[in-house]
Amino acid sequence: MADMLTVTVGTTDYTFDWIAQHIRIEAGVTEVTAADLKTAIGDAQDDVVAIPFPPISTNYNPVTLTGSSSTFLNVVLNDQWRIDSLSGSGTLTVGGGNVVNVNNGIDIFVPNVLVSMVNNTSAAGVLVTGGGGGTAADVWNYILTDGNVAQADLIAALKAAKFAGAVSA
């Protein structure tokens, strides 16, 4: 039974090993985006090789808040899936969204002492694009109107957080 598959997204090869639960990134690659990783995972999971195995990830697509702001793409790797750089030196950065592991949080890399691995995540999870279009006020407006969050509930939560010392004035 085959348990490995290589797919190409853009110019990058991603090799999926279902037994080790590793996503191997070809040597020389210094940056992987969450969107490219999501595409590579989707292509791999659509292949006949993946049929006997559980899904590699669960993806949460961006939600548009305003014309220029949205939530980040979130790729949640299942089980013990991790990213493995095949480079012999340098840095591999994963960004452009949040890539996490359901069991290990932000620890998404197979250890490699020769490569510095960086996982750029955002606790805020809001991406603003363009120049001057979306503001914090836009996000709050969405939360209070389109997001179906009652203003009184939000104010109560903020007051409770301030009272608990989690938020400063």
- pLDDT tens for 24-67 read 999 999 999 999 999 999 999 999 999 999 999 999 887 777 77
In the numeric block, the tokens 């279009």 are attached to 133
In the numeric block, the tokens 């996490």 are attached to 100
Residue 98 φ then ψ, to 5°: -105, 125
Residue 144 φ then ψ, to 5°: -80, -20
Q: Give the pLDDT confidence of 84-138 residue by residue, as tens digits.
A: 999 999 999 999 889 999 999 889 999 999 999 999 987 666 555 655 555 556 6
Single pTM value for the model: 0.71
